[in-house]
Amino acid sequence: MFSALVAGQALAIQLARELAKTGTKSELGHFMVISSVRALGPVLTGIVVASRMSAGITAELGAMKSSEQIDALVAFGTDPMKRLVAPRMIGLWIALPVLTVIGDTLSVIGGGFVGLGYHITLESYYNGVAKYLTPSNLLVGMIKPVFFAVLITTVACWKGLTSAGGAKGVGVATTESVVISSVGILVTDFICTKLIFRILGW
């Protein structure tokens, strides 16, 4: 969440400087909503969560596989997909959108404090935020985390359940999981944005 706050402030500095050149500093709130809610918030939160959760899930499942705990579950008639994969998928489905909302909020709040340094009142800033915080913009920002959650969990569980070679193999699988998830989020973001804009007719 700290990363969302700082990223929002950095974005606001760049936007405020450019808007000041054209005399439209009052539109900072508008551009912060578009930038943070539609794009920066979901992607930044997704990558941060992917770095943490992909590594954790892959390492945990990889360790279970190397110690034959998963084989033991199968021997006792337990489906590893239901027991190990499904709870993690559902948990991230719930957690990632919530974290995205918190990250977006902190990013926009951070932008408001930066705006004060450019003589943009909080009232003017938040009027712009409220004006452009529309259902369609929220829809774009809230659909993406759902797909990101599926991607992160799928990749992490896949790499964990297919890891081999003991501790070294688990380490390699963990690294691959984080890289694939992070790059996959960027690709998924592009695809989701393209499809959503086409559906909404933007």
Residue 1: per-residue pLDDT: 67
Residue 187: per-residue pLDDT: 94
Buried/exposed code over 49-84 (b: 16+ C-beta within 10 A; e: otherwise) = bbbebbbebbbbbbebbbeeebeeeeeeeeebeeeb
Q: Global pTM?
A: 0.84
Residue 168: per-residue pLDDT: 83
Mean pLDDT by 10 residues, the chain (202 residues): 78 81 78 83 89 88 81 79 85 90 87 81 82 81 90 91 81 90 92 84 72
CA-to-CA dists, residue 65 to 74, 185, 192, angstroms: 11, 26, 34
